[in-house]
Amino acid sequence: MHIPDGFLSVATIATTYAVSAGGVSYAVREANKKLKEKHVPLMGVLAAFIFAAQMLNFPVLGGTSGHVIGAALAAILLGPWVAILIMSCVLIAQSLIFQDGGLLALGANIFNMGIVASFSGYYLYRLTVMLLGDGKRSRLTGGFIGAWGSVFLASIACAIELAISGASPLVVVLPAMAGVHALIGIGEGLITGAALSLVLKTRVDLWQLQKV
Amino acid sequence: MKWWHIGLIVCLVVAVISPLASSSPDGLERVAEDGGFIGLGQEAPFMLIADYVFPGIENEAVATILAGLIGTLILFGVVCGLAWLIKSRKKESTEPAV
């Protein structure tokens, strides 16, 4: 879902850069209050994992592929603000070094795959665990729902930006983006669930770290 | 061996299998092709390891693996460094100013 340069209008670029810059600087302040030494290696491993996993495109219907975003996994383990920081680092590196996602579109990509995906993934997870009661199964179910929702909502944000920019009318681009990402989200849900279940089996203490 | 050593090894293994990834267009590219606006896309002003293929290596799988390993290690290093900085700055600010 990395938007290249050329798809977005100047107004959309400016707005998304401003919102993302504000979000990231607030995330730094929140992290500054709560981050402990124990969080450091988990943040590094999650960033490395999200980068590597994003390279692994899996096929979905009709000659289309998708890859995980990873924001929901990071947000569930460490909270949405830390997830925004991790996603921003991944997206900046992808744009600067790997020419994946435009430099001008970076603000929009951080907004969609960082801010929208982290918050939606985190709160859908929390909501599921609250409704089902805490337990192994409800955490994994919440992980799946949060991950699916994060992709779905990020794709809707992306579609709205494309429509506002005049790349494609909303009535066309919104159902198209939401439809294909509803499928990609299933992959995100399964991979997030698998990663969370690995954490649950091996190092459940990492899941108990204070959320930021 | 600490847990994050194993975690990092898992990440590097994922990078090594990255040439197995599907090369079909992703969701957004598909929508842009079908919607007829893929042509709006512009080339990046500079190229480093464009499209996850390390330049100058003939074997594309090797070039992809190398790109993946480099990116994975960079992100581990940068994010650990950033997290460490954010965490340490707090300690300084809570100490009385001299």
B73 close contact with A: CB closer than 8 A: yes
Residues of A in contact with B80 (CB under 8 A): 40-41, 43-44
Q: What is the rounded average pLDDT of the residues B46-65?
A: 94
Q: How confident is the model at residue B89 (pLDDT cuts 50, 70, 90)?
A: confident
Q: Domain segments of chain A: what residues?
A: 10-207
Q: Which amino acid is at A129?
A: V
* Domain contains B30: no
Structural tokens at position A179: 């439809």
Q: What is the pLDDT of residue B4?
A: 93
Percent of chain A clearing pLDDT 70 (strictly above): 100
Q: Is it the case that residue B93 has pLDDT exceeding 60?
A: no
How far is it, in rounded angstroms, from Cα B59 to Cα B47? 19
* Domain contains B71: yes
* Domain contains B31: no
The candidate with the shortest Cα–Cα distance to A39, out of B10, B72, B87, B93, is B87
Three-class SS state of A195:
helix
Start-end of H helices in chain A: 10-34, 39-55, 71-78, 80-98, 106-109, 117-132, 136-164, 170-202, 204-207
| DSSP for A68-114, written as a single string | ---HHHHHHHH-HHHHHHHHHHHHHHHHHHH--S-STTHHHHIIIII
Q: Is it the case that residue A166 has pLDDT exceeding 90?
A: yes
* Domain contains B93: yes
Residues of A in contact with B79 (CB under 8 A): 43-44, 46-48, 85-86, 89
Q: At what angle do helices A39-55 and B60-94 cross, to 10 degrees?
A: 150
* Domain contains B7: yes
Query: Of all helices (H) and strands (E), which one includes residue B68?
Result: helix B60-94
Q: Is it the case that residue B2 has pLDDT exceeding 60?
A: yes
As a CATH number, domain A10-207 is 1.10.1760.20
Q: What is the rounded average pLDDT of the residues A86-91?
A: 98
Question: Taking CB atoms and an 8 Å cut-off, how many pairs form between chains A and B?
Answer: 204
Residues of B in contact with A5 (CB under 8 A): 41-42, 44
- Can you give the residue range of the structural domain that contains B69? 1-22+56-98
**How many angstroms away from the CA of A138 is the closest CA of chain B?**
24
Q: What is the pTM of this model?
A: 0.95
How far is it, in rounded angstroms, from Cα A116 to Cα B67? 28
Q: Would residue A79 be called left, alpha or beta, if left means φ above 0 and alpha means ψ between -120 and 50 degrees?
A: left
Q: What is the pLDDT of residue B92?
A: 53
Q: What is the pLDDT of residue A137?
A: 95
Q: What is the rounded average pLDDT of the residues B28-43?
A: 95
**Contact present, B75 and A48 (Cβ < 8 Å):** yes
Q: What is the pLDDT of residue A61?
A: 84
Nearest to B44 among A1, A86, A99 (CB): A99
How far is it, in rounded angstroms, from Cα A86 to Cα A14? 22
Structural tokens at position A164: 């506002």
Structural tokens at position A131: 């409704």
Nearest to A49 among B11, B64, B80 (CB): B11
Q: Which amino acid is at A109?
A: N
- Tracing tokens 């209050």 back to the chain, one arrives at A33
Q: Is it the case that residue B48 has pLDDT exceeding 70?
A: yes
Q: How confident is the model at residue B90 (pLDDT cuts 50, 70, 90)?
A: low
Q: Which residue has the higher pLDDT, B1 or A150?
A: A150
What is the ipTM, given to two decimal places? 0.94
Q: Is it the case that residue A100 has pLDDT exceeding 70?
A: yes
* Domain contains B84: yes
Q: What is the rounded average pLDDT of the residues A167-189?
A: 97
Q: What is the pLDDT of residue A171?
A: 97
Q: Is it the case that residue A208 has pLDDT exceeding 90?
A: no
Q: How confident is the model at residue B91 (pLDDT cuts 50, 70, 90)?
A: low
**Contact present, B59 and B74 (Cβ < 8 Å):** no
Q: Is it the case that residue B97 has pLDDT exceeding 60?
A: no
How far is it, in rounded angstroms, from Cα B56 to Cα A66? 27
The count of domains in chain B is: 1
